[in-house]
Structure 1
Amino acid sequence: MLTLIRNVEVFAPEPMGRQDLLLANGQIEAMAPQIRLTGSVPLETVEGNGLIACPGFIDSLVHITGGGGEGGFHTRTPAMALTEATLAGVSTVVGALGTDAISRTLPDLIAKCYALRQLGLGCFFYTGGYQVPVRTLLADVSEDVMLLEPCLGVGEVAIADHRSSHPSPQELIRLASQARTGGLLSGKAGVVSIHLGDDPTGLEWLRQSVAQSNLPLSQFYPTHVNRTEAVFQSAIEFGLADGWLDITASTTPELLAQGEVAAAEALRRLLSAGVSPSRVTLSSDGNASLPSFDADGRYQGLQVGRVASLHQAVVAAHELGVPLEQVLACVSRNPATVLGLADRGRLAPGLRADLLLLERDSLAVQALWCGGKAMVQQGRALVTEPF
């Protein structure tokens, strides 16, 4: 079956004007102003009038097996359902463990990753978790990255947070070196996903790790850079030094009241400050716990991160005046670059057919293909989990 999408406004994520797109064999076979086909090959035609075509979103941090537990066993958050991603326009997720890497395990994370892949969603994972020394499935981080195909790096390693193990720069250097070696040997990025707490010194620790080693700054991929105003100001400096920055979309009224910068506003301010649009990503932190603590670190309550927050942040950022191509790059081309996923994140012939159709005015999700497989049509899920 071939799929021909006609007369759609393409953002690849750069604007390409009106185009036709032909999908076949799981990839984009052709993109041109007008594609004509002859013969009797089975063909599904989708009319794209009034729609935008862009790459499916890449969500670089999702707790696909659930997270949380900061308030006790009953506060463990649920695992991600397939449609939580697809109905939000997400075609690829990267799973991670968080605070709880005891009852949440790497074998369970990997099994969930493969389950989502079998259903059609693109899925990868990070080995390890918050704590250092990290737990791995094989001997160390290098082996996990090199020998486990879906493993892209290590993370999310927590720093500057009362829930972290407070790793030293030397421990971060060792982790990053192992991830880098495993990446080099397997053709992967080997990134170190860094969870930032609310202490603004966290990014300085990453700079120290680079200064004390031969590692490039790009080996570290810090997330939650909009956690507090102080952390955000430090992130601006980090971004101006050409470091990667990941903005978290999931939030709560309580976190915003405590000083978190809303994702859309954070993106607008980073770009206004001169940070390169190519160095910023957005992720949802979906299915993570969003706990609240008092001044003495006592647990106050918890809400759950949602993958849908990623799409909501895209819409909000565009409403704030961020050009659509720059917003879309933060959830497609940019995360594909930092994660080393060369086959997705852009729309071009020969690339994986991860394709999202959005309504032009509202940016509502209308249709989604993952690897050429139709997952959503007319805003409704075509593929769901069996249970």
Structure 2
Amino acid sequence: MKATLIKNGTVYAPEYLGEQDVLMIGSSIAKIEKEIPISGSVLDVEVINAKGKWVVPGLIDQHVHIIGGGGETGFASRTPELVLSAVIRAGVTTIVGLLGTDGATRHIESLYAKAKGLEEEGITTFIHTGSYSVPSVTLTGGITRDIMFIDKVIGVKVAISDHRDSNCTREELARMASEARVAGMLSGKPGMVHVHLGRGKDMLDMIMNIVENTDIPIDQFVPTHVTRTRELFEQAKQFAKMGGRIDITSFSELTPGSKFKPSQALAECIQDGVPIQNVTVSSDGNGSIPKYNNEGKIIGMSVGVLDASHLVLINLVKNEGVAVEQAIQFFTSNVARVLDIYPKKGCLQADSDADILIMDTDMKIETVFAKGNKMMEHGKVIVKGAFE
């Protein structure tokens, strides 16, 4: 059986473990110890000297448009499908695929097929049923059946407080959350409601109303894009302090002249006493990023990239002064707990999946392992998608 021994790396699991050896056998981590000898081993072991390097869990991205998104300015503005090398280059080893504005020319069937393909190529994938619209687009005809009977479906996506959403009612959103919750309980999945938030004036009000006036627990909802406006972010911090989970989108870290970067928002969460285990980061990768003028018309379009999350991590440590072991949680263990895959994912410990990054002290990603398979070496992607 294939085995790899990473020696003498500084391990953040994400907690700081100091200099350790990490042994991977097959797709899992076998052990992490100060010294792991290999003399006399019957295994064929590849040894990697990581002295002076950081060894951290692979990043988890819970919001990726793996079959593309967009379309807001016509058919030519539909963004392309994701390719494997873009995932590996970003240090991501687990992703959740979803639909966006377009639930007409994009389908859950295609989303599922793409997720299966990416998994065959080497990473771990999940998907959400639904899109912006209500009633939800599904594969089986219902949210409950999709979550219960389709292996990769772990929750449902919906949009609120956005001029592109379906203007669903409180009752419709509550019913959706109830269906997802029960389906998750019956199938052993999170059954989460992943909520796209726009810049609308209602912000999180509908979710807060449901939490306050029904028995649906607050952690059933995972609102994302919560830093679109200062007012929304202030409400989101309160939501997280109440026990809710909030997701910060990383793409604006790349926007020149951005007044409020995700790395700054994360540092603010720490400073304001927001429970950091309730805060995560995702990229909105491969989705369209429309730019609007003052009249609300789209005047430009870009595409989200998964790499933005890695940049947020770098800036969080280097510019905001957040400890490495704390910063990494937003991209690894916190996300894994939201997706109910911890400690299989999101940490480095015995029996966890061997999803591992080796970084230099400037936080440049040098090596990527996904389920024990080396996907990047010396900063170059060595495993690519079928048609790359």
TM-score by length of 2: 0.96
Query: Larger deviation: 227-236 or 14-23?
Result: 227-236
The residue number in structure 2 matching 1:172 is 173
Letter in 2 for 1:331: F
- What is the alpha-carbon distance in structure 2 between the residues aligned to residue 58 and residue 193 of structure 1? 15
Give, in angstroms, the shift of residue 292 of structure 1.
1.7
1:152 to 130, 149, 154: 154
Letter in 2 for 1:312: L
- What is the alpha-carbon distance in structure 1 between the residues aligned to residue 56 and residue 102 of structure 2? 35
The residue number in structure 2 matching 1:10 is 11
- What is the alpha-carbon distance in structure 2 between the residues aligned to residue 381 and residue 71 of structure 1? 33
- Please say if 1:44 is aligned against 2:46: yes
1:129 to 131, 136, 140: 131
Letter in 1 for 2:31: A
Q: Which runs of 4+ in 1 moved over 3 A?
A: 252-257
**Structure 2 counterparts to residues 218-257 of structure 1, below 5 A:** 218-251=219-252
Give, in angstroms, the shift of residue 41 of structure 1.
2.0
Give, in angstroms, the shift of residue 254 of structure 1.
7.0
Structure 1 vs Structure 2 CA RMSD? 1.4
**DSSP 3-state at the match of 2:296:** coil
- What is the alpha-carbon distance in structure 1 between the residues aligned to residue 298 and residue 253 of structure 2? 15
- Please say if 1:299 is aligned against 2:298: yes
Give, in angstroms, the shift of residue 294 of structure 1.
2.8
Q: Is the 8 A contact 2:253 2:308 kept in 1?
A: no
- Please say if 1:376 is aligned against 2:376: yes
**Structure 2 counterparts to residues 162-311 of structure 1, below 5 A:** 162-251=163-252, 261-311=260-310
Letter in 1 for 2:63: L
The residue number in structure 2 matching 1:143 is 145
Q: Is the 8 A contact 1:196 1:224 kept in 2?
A: yes
Q: Is the 8 A contact 2:163 2:200 kept in 1?
A: no
Structure 2: which 5+ residue stretches go unaligned? none
- What is the alpha-carbon distance in structure 2 between the residues aligned to residue 57 and residue 252 of structure 1? 17
**DSSP 3-state at the match of 1:74:** helix
Query: Larger deviation: 33-42 or 109-118?
Result: 33-42
Give, in angstroms, the shift of residue 194 of structure 1.
0.4
- What is the alpha-carbon distance in structure 1 between the residues aligned to residue 9 and residue 90 of structure 2? 20
- Per-residue CA distance 1:271-324 (angstroms, 9 max, x = gap): 111101111101000011110223333221111100010101110111111111
Structure 1: which 5+ residue stretches go unaligned? none
The residue number in structure 2 matching 1:91 is 93
Letter in 1 for 2:287: A
Query: Larger deviation: 288-297 or 129-138?
Result: 288-297
- What is the alpha-carbon distance in structure 1 between the residues aligned to residue 253 and residue 13 of structure 2? 32
Give, in angstroms, the shift of residue 201 of structure 1.
2.5
- What is the alpha-carbon distance in structure 1 between the residues aligned to residue 153 and residue 97 of structure 2? 9
Q: Is the 8 A contact 1:21 1:28 kept in 2?
A: yes
Q: Is the 8 A contact 2:254 2:308 kept in 1?
A: no
The residue number in structure 2 matching 1:324 is 324
The residue number in structure 2 matching 1:113 is 115
- What is the alpha-carbon distance in structure 2 between the residues aligned to residue 340 and residue 54 of structure 1? 20
Letter in 2 for 1:302: M
- What is the alpha-carbon distance in structure 1 between the residues aligned to residue 321 and residue 235 of structure 2? 24
* Counterparts in 2 of 1:141 and 1:233: CA distance versus 1, 3 Å: same
- What is the alpha-carbon distance in structure 1 between the residues aligned to residue 271 and residue 96 of structure 2? 29
- What is the alpha-carbon distance in structure 1 between the residues aligned to residue 210 and residue 45 of structure 2? 54
* Counterparts in 2 of 1:246 and 1:255: CA distance versus 1, 3 Å: farther
- What is the alpha-carbon distance in structure 1 between the residues aligned to residue 149 and residue 26 of structure 2? 27
- Please say if 1:340 is aligned against 2:340: yes
The residue number in structure 2 matching 1:80 is 82
Give, in angstroms, the shift of residue 237 of structure 1.
1.4
**DSSP 3-state at the match of 1:330:** helix
- Per-residue CA distance 1:81-131 (angstroms, 9 max, x = gap): 111111111000100100011111111111110010000011110000111
Give, in angstroms, the shift of residue 14 of structure 1.
0.7
Q: Is the 8 A contact 1:200 1:230 kept in 2?
A: no
Give, in angstroms, the shift of residue 239 of structure 1.
1.6
Q: Is the 8 A contact 1:5 1:20 kept in 2?
A: yes
Q: Is the 8 A contact 2:355 2:368 kept in 1?
A: yes
Q: Is the 8 A contact 1:335 1:345 kept in 2?
A: yes
- What is the alpha-carbon distance in structure 2 between the residues aligned to residue 334 and residue 66 of structure 1? 26
Indicate the percent of aligned positions where both proteins have the same amino acid.
37
**DSSP 3-state at the match of 2:186:** helix
**DSSP 3-state at the match of 1:180:** helix
Give, in angstroms, the shift of residue 251 of structure 1.
2.4
- Per-residue CA distance 1:230-280 (angstroms, 9 max, x = gap): 2111112112212111000012887965x6x31101101111111011111
- Please say if 1:363 is aligned against 2:370: no
The residue number in structure 2 matching 1:68 is 70
- What is the alpha-carbon distance in structure 1 between the residues aligned to residue 261 and residue 311 of structure 2? 11
1:100 to 99, 102, 112: 102
Letter in 2 for 1:187: G
- What is the alpha-carbon distance in structure 1 between the residues aligned to residue 171 and residue 346 of structure 2? 33
The number of equivalent residue pairs is 383
- What is the alpha-carbon distance in structure 2 between the residues aligned to residue 55 and residue 65 of structure 1? 26
- Per-residue CA distance 1:155-174 (angstroms, 9 max, x = gap): 1x111000011112211111
